[in-house]
Structure 1
Amino acid sequence: MTRQRELSLLGYAGLIPFVAGTAIAFVDDGAHLDAGLTVIMFYGGIIASYMAGMGAGALVVSEKPAGRPLLPGMLAALVAWIVIMPSGFHRTDDLWTAARLFALAAVFLFLLTIDLKAVRSGGFPDWYGALRIWLSFGACLALAVVAVRVLTA
């Protein structure tokens, strides 16, 4: 199996918890909304940190870091963890919870821009950019849908 195929399969499989968390959030009672929220927030924080780590790892082994600093990706990981930690995973205030979900989506979009710059500078293979766009779209869509669900529950 090629590296591209392996990363694609693992990447798309990695969207399953986002889809599952979103589906759970739409079961018609508050406990299920909290459960779906827990799944999507906790998993989202882990994956955002993983993506930041992948970018840092690529910089360490790259012969062409193209002046890309490590700090932005590491700050994105810290923001993701701060977003998911303040009041646990239960809804204490729907507006604040939705804001946290949108902030986590913003972290994914920020990390995507970093990775797309790395693709353009030769730090990642060309196919990786398209994969990251689709995976980021899936994660951000799930986070946004759950945020809207929280606001309309």
Structure 2
Amino acid sequence: MPETASTSTAWQRERAWLGYAGLIPFIACAVVIASNPQPAWTSVATDTLRHYAAVIASFLGAVHWGVAADRHDPLPHARLRWGIMPALIAWTLLALPPASAFFGYAFLFAAILFVDRRLLPVLDDAYRRLRLQLTSIVVVALLLAGFTTPAGLAT
């Protein structure tokens, strides 16, 4: 079935809603960490945010593998190599103390966006704008968590 203007708009709208829904754990955990309501809640929010950041970074890297699967892709090796890097870096960041990990994740998400804007020419302008918005919010949430994580919180 050929894509029409209405299906394209519906698809872009769904993509945006799902992208913004994916921000909920970043924002909620960062708010809990920053407000530090109870040590147990802060600990759960810290672990949850670190693990969610690792999962989402891995997901974003995997997009490159999907593009590299296209037989007409001129850069399959570069995409495959970069595609695994977010997962490996995110996994490594899990071993760091929470505040350091959050700062590392903030940098990682900015780097993923930078690389995606150069290595993924298949991205449409609406997606590029959406990714910039989503990544900006993610980076702010991670920086907030990094600056407000209580000292001495176990990994």
> TM-score range, shorter-chain basis?
0.7 to 0.9
Please give the alpha-carbon distance, in whole angstroms, between the structure 1 residues aligned to 2:13 and 2:75.
26
Q: Closer, same or farther in 2 for the Cα pair 1:60/1:40, shift >3 Å?
A: same
Alignment of 1:128-139 (within 5 A): 128-139=127-138
Query: Partner residue of 2:45?
Result: 36
The answer as to whether partners of 1:62 and 1:123 remain within 8 angstroms in 2 is no
For 1:79 and 1:151, the matched residues in 2 are separated by: 24
One-letter identity of the residue aligned with 1:109: A
1:47 matched to 2:56? The reply is: yes
The structural deviation recorded for 1:50 is 0.5
Equivalent position of 1:21 in the other structure = 29
Q: Secondary structure at the match of 1:61?
A: coil
Secondary structure of 1:124's counterpart equals coil
What runs of 5+ residues in structure 1 fail to find an aligned partner? 88-95
CA–CA distance in structure 1, aligned partners of residues 50 and 89 of structure 2: 13
Report if the CA contact (8 A) 1:59-1:123 is conserved: no
Q: CA deviation at 1:66?
A: 5.0
Residues in 2 aligned to 1:147 and 1:57: alpha-carbon distance in whole angstroms = 32
Cα deviation, residue 55, structure 1:
2.5
1:71 aligns with 2:81: yes
Match status 1:141 vs 2:143: no
Residues 13-47 of structure 1, C-alpha deviations (whole Å, 9 max, x = no match): 00001111112222433222211111211111101
Question: 1:84-127, CA deviations, whole angstroms, 9 ceiling, x for partnerless residues?
Answer: 2x27xxxxxxxx321111111111111101211145xx321121
What is the CA-CA distance between 1:3 and the residue it aligns to?
Answer: 2.5
Question: TM-score scaled to structure 1, two decimals?
Answer: 0.81
Task: Give the equivalent residue in structure 2 for 1:93.
Answer: none
Matched, 1:5 2:6: no
After superposition, give the CA deviation of every residue in 1:25-77 in whole Å (9 maximum; x if it has no partner). Answer: 22433222211111211111101101111232123237454574321231121
1:62 and 1:141 map into 2 onto residues whose CA distance is 37
Aligned 8 A contact 2:64 2:79 in 1: no
Aligned partners of 2:63 and 2:83 also within 8 Å = no
User: TM-score if structure 2 supplies the norm length?
Assistant: 0.80
Aligned AA (1:23): V
Aligned to 1:112: 113
Residue-pair matches, total? 142
